[in-house]
Structures are given as structure tokens and as C-alpha cells.
Amino acid sequence: MAERTSSTPLVFAHYMLIMQPKYGDYSKDIKLAKQVGIDAFAVNYGGWDVDWTQHEAQLNRFYKTAEQLDFRLFLSIDTTSVKDPSMIINLSNACASSPAQLTMNGAIVLSSFQTDPPAWNWQTDVLDKINSPVLLLPGTLSDDAAALFSNDIPGAGPFTWVHPSATAVKEHSTDVALASERDRTGKVWMAGIAPWFFTHLSSDKNWAHAQDDKIFVDRWASLLTRKPDFIEIVTWNDWSESSYIGPPGSSTPGTSDVYWASADHSAFRAMTKAFIKAFKAGRDSVTVDEADEGVYMFYRRQPAGAVGASDPLPPPSDAESLKDKVFAVSLLSEPAEITLTSGDSAPVPWTAPAGLEKTSHSWGYGAQVLQARRRDKVIADKVGAAIVAQLDMYDGNVVAV
């Protein structure tokens, strides 16, 4: 793989190193990521109750596997748990010599996840002490575009996570401001995009996301017009927050620890391929080749306001923003006939156009059936998990097939 330049549009996926793949084998995840056009994993280094010696050994194994498969990695330092800047320096120096390390313009790429600015100064305490040039993309939850692109912030430019409290309208306006500041300053912008967000771990961590169905497909479509320099999918494998596009149950701690993470998100991963192609081609919208056609649906398995029958927790925050709908997404090279049968509701047929279309439909209790055909060609014939009036435990995650 040739060295990248900072002007090359690239797509990454945030990989939680603490979520170890079965048998410590990263090859399946790497191969799946390559299939949809992901250029590198941003390896989230850190987490609560981490055995740092073991964590570093896992990172080394990840890099060795990536080397064998001609794939790229870069560190994304979790500053909520990494507190010693010397750890970042030593890891960066060690990874710099690996053929799997992502580099741009002769500099190693380094990023972070941070909810607040870290205790250290990125420039004097970290970058000045790393032996190689560094392209730093520090993470942020701020939506202050002017401040993020100011000269007071170290690094090449910000990595903006999905903003936790933002509606889709607010996220869009923030993206517009970020793109404008990027153009004005000539810095780099890496935009984060998530397929979904939901968690239900405790009274302190019990939330959904106000962007609901607009968080992924609509945001991808918007970002194609805003043209960030890089896009990072958050995440590949964070089961606890339902933000994964990787296959559920493929790592530990896995879905046994968070019951909602058994839901299939393969449709999000499949859709990603078409969006990545459009992004890398510099297009403002998605054009679909026949080989990449697909019709998908995603939905929650229960009403947003239904309390779990045996659940000690209430519905999550932002549950009032969630729509009790089935969402269908078509990516077509030419029009096709689609029919959705949602549980006990009557079948709903429509003709979907070429390109990208997302529609919403009232749901009925029972299995969800999605079919699509064009003349004699069957494009989709899917049966999804049943929607029910109440589950034993609240589930705000989506099935995406």
C-alpha cells in the first residue's frame, strides 16, 4: 500500500482494543474492513481496569497481523484512562517502524478519544518527544468550530466525534461550520460518524441518541457534500454503546455482557461500501454499481417508551426522540420494486429509484419481511427479528439487515 498524503480521502474505523477478538485473531475483522473499503483501524488504546502489559502485547499482535494482511493501523489514545504521556511517546516510537503504521507525508498518524482536554500539552509533552514526525488528529466533543481550528489547538486538525446531545439538525449545522473553518484555515478535519448509539448499563449510563434514524444514512449523505478530509466510523466493535458495524459476538467482552449487542448490524457495514466509494471519488451523492446493489432495513425491536418487564431501569434519555418505524434503505443501479411487510400490517409496495433512498414505514408486531426485485432478478429477500410490544429488558439497539 502506497504512503498516503493528507489530501487523499480516507475512511477509518474506531477499533476498541479492549474488545479482544476470539483467540486474539484480528484477521477476520481486517478482511471484513478491507472488503468495504476501510483504509485503517484507529486503535482505541485504553479503557477501564486495563492490564497495561497485556494491552501492549495485544497491540503488538494487532500490528503483526495487519502487516501480514497489508493493512494499516494508528493509535487513538483514550485520554479518559491513559494518564501518562510517556506511554504515548513509547508506543508511538515502537509503532512507527511497523509497515502497518499509517503514515501521511512521511508522518505517523496519531489520534485520540477525549471527553475533555488531557492534562498534558500535546506539543511539548508528546509530539516534541516522539522520534518521528506526527500528524496529530486530537479527538473532541466540542462543537465550537472556530476554536477547534484555531492556532491554539495543536495538531493537523480536529477529529470530531458524534456530538452526544445534538439533534440531526444541530449536527448538520456543526458540520457546515467545521467545513467552513477547515477551508478557511487550511487545516485537516476528520469527521466521526456512527451507525447507532444506545446503552443501558446503569442509571448513570442509560441513553439513546436524539439523531435516531438520521445518525448514519442521512449523515453520510450530508458529509459527502461537506467533504471532510477523513471520516472515522465510530465504531467497529463497541458493543456496549451499540455503535458497531462489525459482526456481533466476535470479541470479548462481548455480547454476553451487553444483551442488546447481539443485534445484527451487517446492513450498516454493507451500506458503508457504497458511501466510501462515493467519498473517495469526491462525489456529492451515491452512484451504485450493479455489483454493489442492496436493499436493507433497520428498526428497534420494541416501542421507544415501553419499559422492560423485568428491567430496574427506565427507558433511556432521548427515548422521546426515537420513532417507532421501520426504515428501508435502497442502493440501486436502476429502479426496483420493493415490498415491506411489517409484522401483522398489510404489505407496503413501492418503486425505489436508482441511487440512494431511505424511507420510513409504520410498523406492525411480528417478523419483518423485506423483498426487492427488478424483473426476474431478486435483489433482496430478508426476514428480520420480530418487533414486540414489550421485552423483558429494554432494548434500544436496532436490527440492521
Is pLDDT at 80 greater than 50 in this prediction?
A: yes
pLDDT of residue 249: 72
Q: How many of the other CB atoms lie within 10 Å of CB of 59?
A: 18
Chain position carrying cell 476470539: 22
Classified as helix, coil or strand, 329 is strand
Partners of 308 in beta bridges: none
Is pLDDT at 197 greater than 90 in this prediction?
A: yes
Q: Report which DSSP code applies to 115.
A: S
Is pLDDT at 2 greater than 50 in this prediction?
A: no
pLDDT of residue 8: 83
- Sequence-distant (6+) residues with CB within 8 A of 129 are 85, 89
> Which residue in 223, 218, 219, 231 sits closest to 188, CA to CA?
231
> Which residue in 260, 265, 264, 218 sits closest to 245, CA to CA?
265
Is pLDDT at 239 greater than 50 in this prediction?
A: yes
Chain position carrying cell 508528546: 126
Whole-model pTM: value is 0.96
Is pLDDT at 261 greater than 50 in this prediction?
A: yes
The model's pLDDT over 41-51, given as tens digits with 9 standing for 90+, comes to 999 999 988 99
pLDDT of residue 251: 62
What's the rounded mean pLDDT across residues 210-230? 98
- Sequence-distant (6+) residues with CB within 8 A of 32 are 246, 247, 269
Is pLDDT at 122 greater than 60 in this prediction?
A: yes
pLDDT band at 3 (very low <50, low <70, confident <90, very high): low
Is pLDDT at 142 greater than 70 in this prediction?
A: yes
- Sequence-distant (6+) residues with CB within 8 A of 128 are none
Cis peptide bond upstream of 164, omega within 30: no
Cell of 54: 497485556
> Which residue in 281, 287, 161 sits closest to 231, CA to CA?
161
The model's pLDDT over 271-288, given as tens digits with 9 standing for 90+, comes to 999 999 999 999 999 999
| 52-68 helix and 27-35 helix, angle to the nearest 10 degrees | 50
Q: How far is residue 12's CA from residue 73's CA, in Å, rounded to a whole number?
A: 9
Long-range contacts of 242-245 (CB under 8 A, 24+ apart): 242/196, 242/197, 242/198, 242/199, 242/396, 242/397, 242/398, 243/194, 243/195, 243/196, 243/197, 244/195, 245/13, 245/195, 245/269, 245/272
The model's pLDDT over 338-352, given as tens digits with 9 standing for 90+, comes to 999 999 999 999 999
Is pLDDT at 202 greater than 90 in this prediction?
A: yes
pLDDT of residue 297: 98
> Is the CB of residue 15 less than 8 Å from the CB of residue 250?
no
Is pLDDT at 157 greater than 80 in this prediction?
A: yes
Is pLDDT at 1 greater than 80 in this prediction?
A: no
Buried b (16+ CB within 10 A) or exposed e, 168-191: beebbebbebbbebbeeeebbbbb
- Sequence-distant (6+) residues with CB within 8 A of 34 are 69, 71
Say which range, 51-55, 65-69, 252-256, has the weakest mean pLDDT: 252-256
pLDDT of residue 262: 93
Q: How far is residue 99's CA from residue 113's CA, in Å, rounded to a whole number?
A: 24
Q: How far is residue 284's CA from residue 81's CA, in Å, rounded to a whole number?
A: 38
pLDDT band at 113 (very low <50, low <70, confident <90, very high): very high
Residue type, 27: S
Instruction: HSE, CB side, 13 Å, CA atoms: give it for residue 224.
Output: 22
Is pLDDT at 7 greater than 90 in this prediction?
A: no
Residue type, 316: P
The model's pLDDT over 327-336, given as tens digits with 9 standing for 90+, comes to 999 999 999 9
pLDDT band at 5 (very low <50, low <70, confident <90, very high): low
Please indicate whether residue 72 or residue 248 has the higher confidence score (pLDDT): 72
